[in-house]
Structure 1
Amino acid sequence: MPIVVEPSLPPPPLGGLRALVAGVESLAAARRDGVLCVVVGSSGSTYRKPGALVLLDAAGVRVGALSGGCLEAELEARARDVLANGSAQSARFDTSGDEDRVFGSGTGCGGSIDVLLLPLPASNAPLRRALRAADARDVELVLDFVTDGERLGSGEACAGDERYRFDERGGAVDDDIAFATTGHVRVAPAPRVLLLGAGPETRPLLALTRLLGWRVELAEHRERWLRFATGSGIDDEHRDGPDRLADVVAATRFDAALVMNHNLDLDARCLRALAASAVPYVGLLGPAARRDELLAEIGDARDALRARLHAPIGLRLGGEGAEAIALAIVAQLQQEFARAAHA
């Protein structure tokens, strides 16, 4: 029976940190100033936690969210003030008391959130360069800020061994100028996933992972199966076959590898290679009986996989078909990534 693949479509839009970096670059290309809002503290129940980023310009929020929509109007007003004055500001949004229910946002969330609103000048913004560097190098971004006083909003950003210093107006600062930072946040790089094999699940899987801002690479050497990934927004492709898989996983950080070849022999070869790798999450598509057959086939390699192997892959959400499978896989991955981030 022939494989029917839909005509190539534009890749789904990006989300998450990658969308914010793209938005920052878009503002710079258009020579428009922006405002980067950084959550530097929170208490109680809040929509976003420290390290969350939101990008705004004169028209309002471009990328990200501070709340479910109830705080954005005030955030946009504050950002317009930053754009007009050219200097950073701090803001606290408190939804914990009775006054907020009657006179404020009315959310009833019961928490507070502290935000720095930092200018991103179109001409020369070290923060923009730091975001770009962290994204390109796939490293954590470490941000330190002055959170009060005359130099509020100044600080430095570190992307690996690269350091970018900025003043309260978002401009560059010489290394010999000292300031005492009192706020510290970390922004993790986007999760990175390796798909081993393409199939009917690839397109819906890529739609969801791109909306979450993950980086996804594909290892697939079979031409007819590659058609499932055409136009899906894969970040990189590896077409050398499973015998070169060890080189792929050794060269790049992967948070997860998903074995989805729809072929027993290829899946077994991939599992052997992953058993010798440091990839912390290995997912295997297919029913439990198929899993057991594969584990028996790979012999002693299964012992190195047991603590990392998720098979059958995906949360048991119910439903059937490629879209339901993709949703179950992404839901389990999101759960695992969140757990690892808070470990």
Structure 2
Amino acid sequence: MKELKAIINAYNLLNPEKTKAAIATVVRVEGSSYRRTGARMLVTDDGIWVGGISGGCLEGDALKRARLAMAKAQPSLVTYDTTEDDQHQIGVGLGCHGVIDVLLSPLEIGNPNNAVEILKSCRAERRQTHILLTIIGLEDEYNGLRAGNMLRYTGQESLNVFEDAELEAKIEKSIQNFTQKGRSRPATFELSDGRELEIFIEILPPEVHLVLMGHQYDVLPLTRLVKEIGWRATVVANPQKIMQKLSAVADEIVTPADFETILIDEHTAIILMSHDFKTDKYNLPKVLKTKAAYIGMLGPRVRSEKILDELSQEGIEISQTDLERIHAPVGLDIGAISPEEIALSIIAEIRAVFSDRNGAALRLRTTPIHERD
């Protein structure tokens, strides 16, 4: 999400009278690769790029090909195969052993239907998961659609542009399947005239949102790290107790009395870090009423167990489902000591939970790092 913000910001500064631009998007990955589907890079005709489609090994070649696409005003699909020991193949010697398809799409700057403008419209809306359909394979055109076109899917009616009920039903089925798995993938469909239509179905969730309930000095390094990786940070505390540095970093400062005004969804994590036993005990039942998928409690295990025990004695029972959302002590066991290291352990655990991983060392993993088809 941080990369997408950077691309949009750079795009907004472009002068269409002086600059041409294109967007490079990873639309298929087979095997291993540094970046996954949906990775993007904005390229301008003066050789500048923002974002990335690999770890830096493919960007140079993609830049050349993107400038060619701009000159021709036509999109192109480029395949990088790092599985072959072909000295003429870009990416050979990387050791990734993967195949990567990258769509290079020239941009008509300011056209509301270009890919970046559509991404901007998604970012401008309140937190929700967006579904984008990009045509990556199509000979000639179909009902005015061409390779490189992007469409926003907002329901079955969005597919009416294809004017083929059978085709629309197949696309809809793929969308629902990919959405359920939370995975962005290409899918191929046969048109009534026998041609193939290949669509990159992209699931674009909102940025991860951290709600930090506290005002002590350790909130600042955690907020800084949240922003560094491109997540959203909301601090719940009395504004008069907030240090100026924290106010400058956080996306929003909300008073405890206004907690219910915060938009909290399943992509939200809440950390109780007031360093005050009574405050955290008061806040826990309140945050459990939200949709937050992750609730962390700072402090030793005995402290959190005492909070749960006292709540139970007061008649506030916490279900097993809610107990599974509570992470106490918060963070991964990395031997963190300083506030900055503790922040790192917290962020790492949140990422692991949201990715349905256990947070163990990758060298112990017996299956590929990323799920494959």
Q: Deviations over 1:20-65 (max 9, x none)?
A: 3323323368963321112111111111222222222224453322
Cα gap change, 1:88 to 1:98, in 2 (>3 Å):
same
Cα gap change, 1:310 to 1:114, in 2 (>3 Å):
same
Which stretch of structure 1 is more off in the superposition, 85-94 or 48-57? 48-57
**What letter matches 2:262 in structure 1?**
V
Contact 1:156–1:163 (Cα < 8 Å) also in 2 = no
Unpaired stretches in structure 1, ≥5 consecutive residues: 1-13, 166-173
Instruction: Look up the match of 1:27.
Output: 14
Give 1:339 shift.
Answer: 2.3
Q: Deviations over 1:236-260 (max 9, x none)?
A: 2212x1x54344356x665211111
1:294 aligns with 2:270: no
Instruction: Look up the match of 1:261.
Output: 274
**Equivalent position SS for 2:248:** coil
Give 1:154 shift.
Answer: 3.4
Contact 2:239–2:253 (Cα < 8 Å) also in 1 = no
**What letter matches 2:150 in structure 1?**
E
1:69 aligns with 2:27: no
1:128 to 113, 116, 119: 116
Instruction: Look up the match of 1:236.
Output: 252
**What letter matches 2:280 in structure 1?**
D
**What letter matches 1:292 in structure 2?**
E
Q: Deviations over 1:140-199 (max 9, x none)?
A: 33222332323453333316569999xxxxxxxx96999974222322221122111233
**What letter matches 1:111 in structure 2?**
G
Instruction: Look up the match of 1:78.
Output: 65
Give 1:222 shift.
Answer: 5.2
Contact 1:246–1:273 (Cα < 8 Å) also in 2 = no
Give the TM-score taking structure 1 as reference length: 0.81
Instruction: Look up the match of 1:46.
Output: 33
**What pairs up with 1:1-343 in 2 under 5 angstroms?**
15-27=2-14, 32-60=19-47, 62-99=49-86, 104-126=91-113, 127-137=115-125, 138-148=127-137, 149-151=139-141, 153-158=147-152, 160=154, 181-186=197-202, 187-221=204-238, 223-227=240-244, 229-232=246-249, 234-239=250-255, 241=256, 243-249=257-263, 254-299=267-312, 300-303=316-319, 305-339=322-356
Contact 2:213–2:271 (Cα < 8 Å) also in 1 = yes
**What letter matches 2:130 in structure 1?**
L
**Equivalent position SS for 2:77:** strand
**Equivalent position SS for 2:318:** helix
**What letter matches 1:19 in structure 2?**
A
CA distance in 2, matches of 1:279, 1:212: 20
Instruction: Look up the match of 1:171.
Output: none
Contact 1:130–1:159 (Cα < 8 Å) also in 2 = no
Structure 1 stretches of 4+ with a deviation exceeding 4 A read 28-31, 100-104, 159-165, 174-181
CA distance in 1, matches of 2:17, 2:242: 40
Which stretch of structure 1 is more off in the superposition, 124-133 or 307-316? 124-133
CA distance in 2, matches of 1:195, 1:44: 38
Cα root mean square deviation, aligned: 3.1
CA distance in 1, matches of 2:307, 2:353: 23
CA distance in 2, matches of 1:181, 1:58: 29
CA distance in 2, matches of 1:301, 1:159: 41
Contact 1:34–1:120 (Cα < 8 Å) also in 2 = yes
Instruction: Look up the match of 1:169.
Output: none
**What letter matches 1:215 in structure 2?**
R
Contact 2:134–2:148 (Cα < 8 Å) also in 1 = yes
**Equivalent position SS for 2:222:** helix
Contact 1:196–1:259 (Cα < 8 Å) also in 2 = yes
CA distance in 2, matches of 1:235, 1:23: 20
CA distance in 1, matches of 2:17, 2:158: 23
CA distance in 2, matches of 1:104, 1:176: 37
Aligned sequence identity (%): 26
Unpaired stretches in structure 2, ≥5 consecutive residues: 165-190, 358-369
**What letter matches 1:46 in structure 2?**
S
CA distance in 1, matches of 2:239, 2:134: 50
**How many residue pairs end up in the alignment?**
317
**What letter matches 1:245 in structure 2?**
F
Give 1:329 shift.
Answer: 1.0
Q: Deviations over 1:188-246 (max 9, x none)?
A: 221122111233233322232222211121211252245461221x122212x1x5434
